[in-house]
Structure 1
Amino acid sequence: MTRGNQRELARAKNAKKQTDTGKGKRNEDGLSAAARKQRDAEIMQQKQKQANDHPKGEPQKK
């Protein structure tokens, strides 16, 4: 009769796993795809500018 118990445990484990995967999704912020793309592009440009201003071999000034 252990097979039935294993099935029930596997079903419960899988159900918990399915609910946990939904928790990591990004929140919808109400932006359209184009607006989100533009926002992300601006963020990446700022990061690239910061990386170009401070090369890895050079210590950052405080």
Structure 2
Amino acid sequence: MTRGSQRERDRERAAARAGGKGKNAEDGLTPEQRRERDGKALQEKAAKKAAQAAAAGSGGGAGSKGAAKK
């Protein structure tokens, strides 16, 4: 059975596809700094989403959630 070489080739191909993706624990930050950076990114993302929701909600019209059905 030559299945061992196939597995090794598959692992190499998967590693090549992954490239630089994935988590990088060696980014030179302490856990506290990483937590602060991630928290700031989440706040920015939430603010952006809220702004988009406000812009979409201000359009109004018959398609809005507040419209009454009969």
Interval of TM-score (by shorter of Structure 1 and Structure 2): 0.5 to 0.7
Query: 1-side partners of 2:32 and 2:46: how far apart?
Result: 21
What is the alpha-carbon distance in structure 1 between the residues aligned to residue 30 and residue 47 of structure 2?
Answer: 26
CA RMSD of aligned residues (A): 3.0
Aligned counterpart, 1:24: 21
Q: TM-score normalised to the size of structure 2?
A: 0.51
Note the C-alpha offset of 1:7: 2.6
- Structure 2 residues without counterparts, runs of 5 or longer: 58-70
Task: Report the alpha carbon displacement of residue 56 of structure 1 after superposing the two structures with TM.
Answer: 7.0
Residues 33/22 of structure 1: CA separation in 2 closer, same or farther (3 Å cut) = farther
Runs of 4+ in 1 over 3 A off after TM superposition: none
Structure 1 portions without partners, runs of 5+: none
TM-score if structure 1 supplies the norm length? Answer: 0.56
Count of residue pairs the alignment pairs up: 54
